[in-house]
Amino acid sequence: MVRFNNVGLRYGMGPEVLRDLTFSIEPQSFQFLTGPSGAGKTTLLRLILLSLQPTRGFIRLFGKDAATLEKDEITALRRRIGVVFQDFRLLDHLTTYENVALPLRVQGRDEASYRAEVIELLGWVGLGERMHALPSVLSGGEKQRAAIARALIVRPELLLADEPTGNVDPSLARRLLRLFLELHRSGTSVVIATHDLGLMDQFDGARRLVLGDGRLHIYD
């Protein structure tokens, strides 16, 4: 699904943030990506998302060489990936409903065709009441759930979540983790970047990708 081969990355003329990364993410797998703050977790997720080009090494995504993709192919791949950004990246002038529906809307689909779906998902993540609220009036936890719902609405094959429990209280964090696990069981590959050890302890069996000093250590 995702395969990194000796990937290295530096920002501009800076030091290499990531070095010699070689790993793969298998279909229907579940893994934590962890490491101290500043270790490069977000950077690694951006590489998978094709929003950064590696300075060396090769990345293959869904069987395709990431370096040679056309713009339309990148778009097609992104439609198979759901992302939850650390800072949510909800659009401020759209309601919760419209933000969650966005990935379907940009595919040119008619609103009537997905309305029920979006409302149902909003109900599931507990945002049914906040459907018409703008992000500016949502709490951190609500924004988090809206961002997660937006990532899930397209039923992605791969879900990338960057610190998805960073802004919520422990009990909501537990519920969100359960949501990701259910998603994994339904067939989605899940990568959760977090530095929250307590969260990972709740799911001991998960694979761990640990970043430190720019290198990756894998604990299966």
Partner 1 sequence: MALAGSYSAMGGCTFMIKRAMADSDPNAVSEQHRVIPRREVPLVPPDAIASRALVTVIAIMTFLASLTAGAAIMVNGVSRDWRQDVSREMTIQVKPTAGRNIDQDLRKAEELARETTGVAEVRSFSKAESEKLLEPWLGAGLELGELPVPRMIVLRLSVDTPLDAAQLRASLARLAPGAILDDHKLWIERLGTMSQTMVLVAVVIFFLVLIAMALAVAFATRGAMAGSREVINVLHFVGARDSYIARQFQRHFLLLGLRGGVIGALAAVGAFILASLLSTRWMANFGGDQLEALFGTFSLGAAGYVSTAVIAVAVAVLTGLTSRSVVFRHLQGLE
Ligand X SMILES: Nc1ncnc2c1ncn2[C@@H]1O[C@H](COP(=O)(O)OP(=O)(O)O)[C@@H](O)[C@H]1O
* Residues that bind partner 1 in the complex, under the rule CB under 8 A: 49, 51, 71-72, 75-76, 78-79, 83, 85, 89, 91-95, 97-98, 102-103, 105-108, 111, 115-117, 119-129, 131-132, 150, 153-155, 172, 175, 178-179, 181-183, 185-187
Which of the ranges 9-17, 39-47, 143-151, 200-208 carries the binding residues for Mg ion, by CB under 5 A?
Answer: 39-47
17 versus 59: smaller Cβ distance to ligand X: 17
- Residue 89 binds to ligand X (criterion: CB under 6 A): no
- Residue 43 binds to ligand X (criterion: CB under 6 A): yes
Nearest to residue 101, comparing CAs of 125, 118, 121, 124?
118
116 versus 197: smaller Cβ distance to partner 1: 116
Which of the ranges 36-44, 116-124, 181-189, 207-215 carries the binding residues for Mg ion, by CB under 5 A?
Answer: 36-44
Nearest to residue 49, comparing CAs of 63, 61, 40, 35?
61
- The nearest distance, CB 165 to partner 1, in angstroms, is 14
**Would you call 7 exposed, middle or buried from its count of C-beta atoms within 10 A (0-12, 13-18, 19+)?**
buried
CA distance readout (Å), 95 to 69, 92, 131, 149: 33, 8, 7, 13
- Residue 17 binds to ligand X (criterion: CB under 6 A): yes
- Residue 54 binds to ligand X (criterion: CB under 6 A): no
38 interface partner picked from partner 1, ligand X, Mg ion, none, CB below 5 to 8 A per type: ligand X
- Residue 37 binds to ligand X (criterion: CB under 6 A): yes
Distance between CA atoms of 49 and 113, rounded to whole angstroms? 28
Contact yes or no for 153/127 (Cβ under 8 A): no
- Residue 165 binds to ligand X (criterion: CB under 6 A): no
The number of beta carbons lying within 10 Å of the beta carbon of residue 210 is: 16
The number of beta carbons lying within 10 Å of the beta carbon of residue 185 is: 11
